Amino acid sequence: MAAKQIQFKIVTPEKILYDAMVEGVSFPTVEGEITVLPHHIPILSAVKPGELKIKINGKEEFFHVTSGVLEVDGESITLLTDAAERANEVNEKRAQEAVERAQAIMSEKRHDEEGYIEAVAEMERALSRIRIAKKHRHGGSRASLNDE
């Protein structure tokens, strides 16, 4: 079975959020979604906020990830990201509040290009969290994983 799996880690500034042998992982990259399987060629790619899908033991586990960097060396996959959370743990109320804060900042920063761009990015992250939470709220994968 080991030949059909690859080591996968999600690393945030605070901790290693996920560390397990998996069958494959799909990532939202700036070039589009990619799926990495065991023995994948080495790559380095920018990851954008969105849904990450992990296939483990024939089941799927879903995460929301923010921007980051994906590194694949053929034997392991490492995602360095600002933040990640399981889809079934996304707090929709907090995400909606973040959308509203971002909208308020956007209206205040219309003439401050940098502030406006940061607010748009925050709103996109919050909307992504809401989409993923709603998509997996009912009947979504709840595979139990033995990670930290």
What is the predicted pLDDT for the residue at 110? 67
For residue 65 the two structure tokens come to: 């990830």
92: phi then psi, degrees, rounded to nearest 5: -60, -35
Q: How far apart are CA 9 and CA 53, in angstroms?
A: 13
Domain chopping of the chain, boundaries: 2-87, 88-136
pLDDT tens digits, residue range 99-119?
A: 677 777 777 766 777 777 777
Q: Which has more confidence, 145 or 69?
A: 69
Q: How far apart are CA 66 and CA 60, in angstroms?
A: 19
Please state the length of the chain: 148
**Residue of 36, 39, 123 lying closest to 79 (CA atoms):** 36
124 falls in which pLDDT band (50, 70, 90)?
Answer: confident
The more confident residue out of 22 and 128 is: 22
CATH T-level topology, domain 2-87:
ATP Synthase; domain 1 (2.60.15)
Mean pLDDT, to the nearest integer, of 43-54? 92
**What DSSP line would sit under 81-128, residue for residue?**
ES-EEEGGG--HHHHHHHHHHHHHHHHHTTT-HHHHHHHHHHHHHHHH
> Are 82 and 64 within 8 A, CB to CB?
no
- Per-residue pLDDT tens for 18-42? 999 999 999 999 889 999 999 999 9
For residue 2, pLDDT over 60 is answered with: no
Alpha-carbon torsion, ordered 63, 66, 71, 77, to 10 deg: -10
